[in-house]
Amino acid sequence: MVAKTRRQLAKLALLLLALLLLLAAILLCVFLIPRHHRRPLPPASPPGNASNPDDSIVAFDFSPYLIMYKSGRVHRLDGTARCSAGVDEATGVTSKDVVLDSGTGLAARMYLPPALGSRRRHPVLVFYHGGAFVIESAFTPLYHAYLNGVAAKARVVAVSVEYRLAPEHRLPTAYDDSWRALNWVARNAASGPEPWLRDRGNLSRLFVAGDSAGANIAHNMAMRAGTEVLDGGAAITGLLLLDPYFWGKQPVAGETTDPARRRQYEATWSFICGGRYGIDDPRVDPLSMPASQWQKLACSRVAVTSSGMDDFRPRGLAYAAALNGSGWDGEIEQYETPGERHVYFLDRPKDPNSIKELAFVTGFLTRE
């Protein structure tokens, strides 16, 4: 009887041991497989119209920004979050939203630095956000945080413009919206009724700036101001181009020569403007302008920043060199951050390189 019981216990022990070994094997599979082998699923496309077969056929894939379907439906993959205006606890900057044109929806977010005892007038900064002309907004957390930082450090009254995006509104809509916004700022800083601009802004120190596609817009606004008078006769003091989005048919020194890569940039530009402008058009390739055209750049100071690993870096450097060699009568400053990607400072504002770049931006905006 005792022997039989021992045999049964031995079998039970073996069974338990087998179960433990199986469990251990499962745990090994779960925890020891490298995480980079587990690829996240791509963002799901929002449901389309089941009755329209064109609603699921991709017409243009502009990943990682958006996908446009044959039906015209647009699915944005990034830059769609929004945040409210108000008082920023970290900087003390106050922001508010204003409508510039109710007919088109043209709007802006304004930023006012905290008072430091005296109600002195501040430089006025008109800022155009990036996002390849197709994503992002003046109201996204990314640009809200950046403008809070700039307004606090440089002590400027900032106006971040909410221009309309492609492909729903292809170029030149963004340019036209941006020009109307710049004139609205000039008008209100001169005589109101917008109190932050009328009472706190110093129109004699008007700056126009932007990053990436926004820098492209800022450049085109300064060029347009050379042929069209801004409201009230306002003059742009400085132009600040952060990692500007410029391209062209023929590569400049240091630019990629990969045919597929160049075709991709040419195709996306055509998508943005609906084929209205070629890749050699001065709107996207200022280097295509004759030297005499640079004289129309209506400002007295220009700053161009670049990031070492940015595809747009070589043409940004070439832009500064061309302007410098054109006979344009103004000051040019350049700032480069080696080893960084396109507009890195937006995603990592507390990074040491981002802090240094913000210090450069602050210096450019505050220097008398």
- What pLDDT, in 10s, does the model give residues 132-144? 999 999 999 999 9
Residue 25 lies inside a defined structural domain of this protein:
no
| CA dist., res. 323 & res. 302, Å (int) | 9
Residue 215 lies inside a defined structural domain of this protein:
yes
Residue 1 lies inside a defined structural domain of this protein:
no
Mean pLDDT value of segment 333-354: 98
Tokens representing 99 are 């409508």
Q: What is the domain count for the chain?
A: 2
Between 100 and 3, name the one with better pLDDT.
Answer: 100
Give the pLDDT confidence score for residue 54 in this predicted structure.
85
Q: Taking the CB of residue 55, how many other CB atoms lie within 10 A of it? A: 16
Q: Tell me the catalytic residues.
A: 212
Radius of gyration of the chain (CA): 27
Q: In this predicted structure, which of 21-25, 124-128, 139-143 has the lowest mean pLDDT? A: 21-25
Tokens representing 162 are 């909410």
The letter for the amino acid at 271 is F
Same domain, 70 and 128: no
Same domain, 259 and 281: yes
CA atoms within 13 A on the CB side of 141: 7
Residue 112 bridge partners (DSSP): 94
Q: How confident is the model at residue 33 (pLDDT cuts 50, 70, 90)?
A: very low
Same domain, 108 and 253: yes
Give the pLDDT confidence score for residue 38 in this predicted structure.
30
Same domain, 64 and 123: no
Residue 317 lies inside a defined structural domain of this protein:
yes
Rounded to the nearest integer, the mean pLDDT of the chain is: 90
Nearest CA to 149 among 366, 356, 349, 348? 349
Give the pLDDT confidence score for residue 119 in this predicted structure.
73
Residue 267 has pLDDT above 90, yes or no: yes
Q: How confident is the model at residue 21 (pLDDT cuts 50, 70, 90)?
A: low
Nearest CA to 204 among 221, 180, 186? 186
| CA dist., res. 217 & res. 239, Å (int) | 11
Tokens representing 195 are 């109190």
Same domain, 67 and 170: no
Altogether, the residues listed in the chain come to a count of 368
Q: Which of 62, 82, 102 is the last residue of a domain?
A: 82
Same domain, 178 and 63: no
| CA dist., res. 306 & res. 360, Å (int) | 12
Mean pLDDT value of segment 121-149: 98
Between 121 and 37, name the one with better pLDDT.
Answer: 121
- What pLDDT, in 10s, does the model give residues 277-317? 999 999 999 999 999 999 999 999 999 999 999 999 999 99
0.75 cut: is pTM over it? Answer: yes
Query: In Å, how far from its chain's centre is CA 256?
Result: 22
Give the pLDDT confidence score for residue 262 in this predicted structure.
98
Question: C-alpha angle 320/64/180, rounded to 5°?
Answer: 55
Same domain, 223 and 107: yes
111 within 8 A of 153, measured Cβ to Cβ: no
